[in-house]
Structure 1
Amino acid sequence: MVGKFERNKDTIQELTESTAAHVGRIAVIIATAVVDVTREIGDLITDGIEMREASRRAQNDGPHFQVIDGDFEERRG
């Protein structure tokens, strides 16, 4: 027959192992979420930078005109 002390020890041991396993799984979930959120934020910032650069290139690539005596004359460079 198992004594009261040994039953309590077994219960505490099972509870501790179960808690550790659950806490470990929760930590993995949180760590994965942090990685995913960080990646998405980085991608969002990269998209913004690329759009800004594309806008600048488009602005610099287009023809530039200067008004001279009410007429438009193309200016390059």
Structure 2
Amino acid sequence: MVGKFERRKDTVQELTESAATHVGQIATIIAGAVRDVTREIGDWVSDGIEMREAAKKAREDEGEDEAVD
């Protein structure tokens, strides 16, 4: 026969293990979300840099066309 103390110990142990598992899963989800958000922000900044460089090159090309005329 299992005593009252051992039943409580088993319950606490199961709850602790369950909590650790769920906290681990939540941390994994959050880490993945942070990674994905960081990647999107980086891609967005890269797009902005590329557009700025393209606009600069277009202005330079436009200036060269005017110099030729």
Fold equivalence (TM over 0.5): yes
Aligned positions, number: 66
Higher relative contact order (CA 8 A, sep 6+): 1
Between Structure 1 and Structure 2, the one with more strand by share is: 1
Residue equivalent to 1:13:
13
Q: Which runs of 5+ in 2 are unaligned?
A: none
Q: CA RMSD in A?
A: 0.7
Shift of 1:52: 0.3
Over the matched positions of the two proteins, sequence identity in percent amounts to 68
Give the 5 Å matches for 1:1-77: 1-62=1-62, 63-64=65-66, 75-76=67-68
Shift of 1:20: 0.2
Shift of 1:12: 0.2
What TM-score do you get using the length of structure 2 for normalisation?
0.92
